[in-house]
Amino acid sequence: MQEIRLKKLEFQTDPAFENGVSNAEAVSPDAAQVRNYLLSRGNSAISDGGFRWLMVLCALSIFGIVVLIATELMVRSKLAWGQFGLDFFYKAFIDTYSHKPMYWDPVNGHFSALPFLYGTLVSSFLALLLAVPLAIGVAVFLTEMCPNVLRAPLAFLTELLAAIPSVIYGLWAVFVLVPLLREHLNPWLIKGFGWTGFFGDDNPTGLGFLAAGIILAIMILPIISSLTREVMTAVPNSQREAVLALGATRWEMIRMGVLRNARIGIVGAVILGLGRALGETMAVTMVIGNSPEISRSLLANGSSMASVIANEFAEASSDLHLSALMELGLALFIVTIIVNAFARLLVWAVTRGEPASTH
Amino acid sequence: MPLPACWCGRLRAESRRPRIKNAGIQEKGLRISAGEKKLKNEHKIRAKFRALSDGAATGLAVLATILVVAPLVAIFAYLVYKGANSLSWAFFTEVPRPVGVVGGGMANAILGSSILLAVGSLIGVPVGISGGIFLAEFGRGTKLAHAVRFTADVLNGVPSIVMGIAIYSLIVVPQGHFSAFSGGVALGIMMIPTVCRTTEEMLLMVPNAVREAALALGVPNWRSVLAITVKTASPGIITGCMLAFARVAGETAPLIFTAFGNVGWNTRLDEPISALPLQIYVYALSPYDDWHRLAWAGALVLIVLIVLAVSLVRYVTSRGVLKGAS
């Protein structure tokens, strides 16, 4: 559109230049200088085209990066894929002597992603369970209830929460959260809810799924709450006024006027938070306990896809081991891409009318 | 003639129920049937329930906010307390000592982090800004632009550890050794989507009249974009770059298998290099109290840098995105 306008502009002004140069001196020396200068620069079509293509190239490099990551991971994980195929994701090797499942045994070359899938899912959903109600509460408070004086500082604080590097969350979790869990929360949970089987007392370290879930919840809170806030402010005020005019209390107004209209976007925000939780590495690695086991107890040590890569990649003992880790990375890549794409579409659907999507 | 409802106090009954109820009955001379009484009771309970749930919702929202702010305050307070106690001059001037020797600092990690970030910015900022220029200036409304925007958003959510192992197999394996260069590339690639998207958003805020004025003067398009549009939006674009910078400054996962870490000084791009987050990670998981102390000091330095960057950005943006240059 703009391009066309530009061409027209040049087309119209060019003849004017031809006429203008001859009588330019008579009109004004300044104008003549400008015109001479413009004429001396010659045709800008080449440089314009070149610039344009350079920009397009840089934009295309984003596709290039995604493709490059995908192909690299695929090439490097070929060995594990050839060895295990799809079994990698749902089968475990059964030890012939102890008849116990061996999930991850670098020494004997048995690899299965099962415990890591389990660990990633458990810690992420635990995080969502804790973070979603809080995040929506914060968003509701900040958009609908908060006095104006508090709004900006509180929004800034929650944004700050997003700016803290994950290794610092991990550091805090190792030295503050884990001892807290070990000494206070875990004994209480074991005593009160041990009968459910979710809180076994065989891990006295305080590390484990619960610690990972809590720290993940703190980390994904700002993402979910800021996106929820964005979606809720996108709800038109007329909706709020209409509900209030019917005699609704404030909570009824929020429930019927705001949350109901924004629900798709909120789901998108939650899924985006899930995407972040699935791939979070450092903080989880530091507190999840790092043992490739599947255990019903939330207080047991576990391991997630990202944490096992961070832990074992540098010391991978064999090509097969390295390849299996690469395959885990590929799986993580594909899963997070799908989750993120889905969430983006949902959020866009609310904030921009319709998904300005890929097709 | 019967009185209108509002005159006989029916409407006021909503607010002052007990007294008006009797008055209404006497005036009309009616008996209340059992059903009506029940209905009224239900209304009463309902109104109470509504008021109660409203209060409860408000209370819960406030509670949620407190619960969210609490860990933030806890983390910050503890970090400042621990970090300030452990900071010393040596932290900024010395390299780590061997295991068991008390003292030492993270000077090499600070230098390493700045080298890595410089390499990352050299890659991420130009490519990201160019991508943003394409989205805002050339590709408006085209399918390609939508696809690029979408991919950038998705790329933003790719876990950093995946980026790390991809760069490992792309650069470290062919080279045969860990290097500062590969770490910088990993950080640079992670910056691209953020820079690209903020640049686009800022450029879209530049009024079209500015572009048209430049073109009307016969300025070639590339020049009008670079010298007029981008310059007008430059405070916003710098903001975006700083945000991306702050984000990758704390990244650890992509550096474990690329920059790898180093206990001594290194300024060469083709050798392993130390980085602040990496050093914090290693020290936090070590069994030595002295190293824990250093990890806290490092964390404090890192967070101060990041918070400074973010608040600077916040300050600039709060003054209006386009005010600075116009």
Residue A167 shares a structural domain with residue A98: yes
Query: Across the interface, do B64 and A137 touch by the CB < 8 Å criterion?
Result: yes
pLDDT at position B126 over 90: yes
Same domain, A7 and A112: no
On whether both A282 and A163 belong to a single domain, the answer is yes
> pLDDT tens-digit profile of B188-226?
999 999 999 999 988 998 998 988 888 888 788 888 899
Is position A143 within any domain? yes
Q: Provide the terminal-to-terminal Cα distance of chain A, rounded to the nearest Å.
A: 21
Are A12 and A156 in a shared domain? no
Between CA B308 and CA A357, with CA B239 as vertex, the angle to 5 degrees is 130
Sequence ranges of the domains in chain B: 90-318
Shared-domain flag, residues A32 and A143: no
Report yes or no on A230 lying in a domain: yes
**Higher per-residue pLDDT: A117 or B243:** A117
Check if A1 contacts B (Cβ < 8 Å). Answer: yes
Contact B58 A138 (CB under 8 A): no
Whether pLDDT at B145 is above 80: yes
DSSP A195: G
Question: Residue A156 carries which side chain, given as an amino acid letter?
Answer: F
Give burial (CB, 10 Å; 0-12/13-18/19+) of A255. Answer: middle
> Do A33 and A132 fall into the same domain?
no
Given a cut of 80, whether residue B313 has pLDDT beyond it is no
Q: Is residue A258 part of a domain?
A: yes
A-proximal residues of B, 122-181, CB under 8 Å: 126-128, 130-131, 133-135, 137-141, 144-163, 165-166, 168-170
**pTM (2 decimals)?**
0.82
Q: What is the CATH number of the domain that holds A242?
A: 1.10.3720.10
Q: Is B313 on the interface with A (CB under 8 A)?
A: no
Tell me whether residues A62 and B165 touch, CB distance under 8 A: no
Q: Please check whether residue A288 lies inside any domain of the structure.
A: yes
pLDDT in tens, B67-90: 888 888 888 899 999 999 888 888
Radius of gyration, alpha carbons of chain A: 29
Q: How far apart are CA B211 and CA B220, in angstroms?
A: 11
Chain B 4-43, CB below 8 Å of chain A: which residues? Answer: none
Residue A325 lies in a domain: yes
Nearest to A221 by CA among A280, A179, A174: A280
Phi, psi of B227 (to 5 degrees): -90, -20
**One digit per residue, pLDDT tens: chain A, 359 residues?**
444 444 444 444 444 444 444 444 455 667 777 766 666 665 677 788 888 899 999 999 999 999 999 999 999 999 989 888 888 888 777 777 777 777 888 888 888 889 999 999 999 999 999 999 999 999 999 998 888 888 888 888 877 778 889 999 999 999 999 999 999 988 888 888 888 878 887 888 889 999 999 999 999 998 899 889 988 988 889 989 999 999 889 999 999 889 988 888 899 899 989 999 998 999 999 999 888 888 888 888 999 999 999 998 888 878 899 999 999 999 999 999 999 999 888 877 777 644 333 33
Q: Which amino acid is at A220?
A: I
pLDDT at A4: 47
Contact between A46 and A77 (Cβ < 8 Å) = no
pLDDT above 60: residue B60: yes
A256 has a chain B CB within 8 A of its CB: no
Helix (H), strand (E) at residue A100:
none
**Which pLDDT belongs to residue B236?**
83
**Domain range holding A15?**
2-42
pLDDT at B264: 84
Q: Does A166 touch chain B (CB under 8 A)?
A: yes
Counting the structural domains of chain A, the total is 2
Q: Domain for residue A146, yes or no?
A: yes
Q: Are residues A19 and A125 in the same domain?
A: no
First to last CA, chain B: 72
Q: Quick one: A317 and A196 in the same domain? A: yes
Confidence band of B7 (pLDDT split at 50, 70, 90): very low
Q: Is A179 on the interface with B (CB under 8 A)?
A: no
pLDDT value, residue A193: 86
Architecture of domain B90-318: Orthogonal Bundle (1.10)
Do both A308 and A263 map to the same domain? yes
CB within 8 Å: B280 and A65? no
- A53 is a domain residue: no
Closest partner CB to A137 (pick from B65, B154, B193): B65
A142 and A225 assigned to the same domain: yes
How close does chain A come to B1, measured CA to CA in Å?
A: 31
The answer to whether residues A133 and B64 touch, using CB atoms and an 8 Å cutoff, is yes
The reply to whether residue A63 touches residue B151, judged by beta carbons under 8 angstroms, is yes
- Taking the Cβ of residue A176 and every Cβ of chain B, the question of whether any pair is shorter than 8 Å is answered with yes
Say yes or no: B85 contacts chain A, CB-CB below 8 A.
no
Helix (H, G, I), strand (E, B) or coil at A104: strand
- Does residue A358 fall inside a structural domain? no
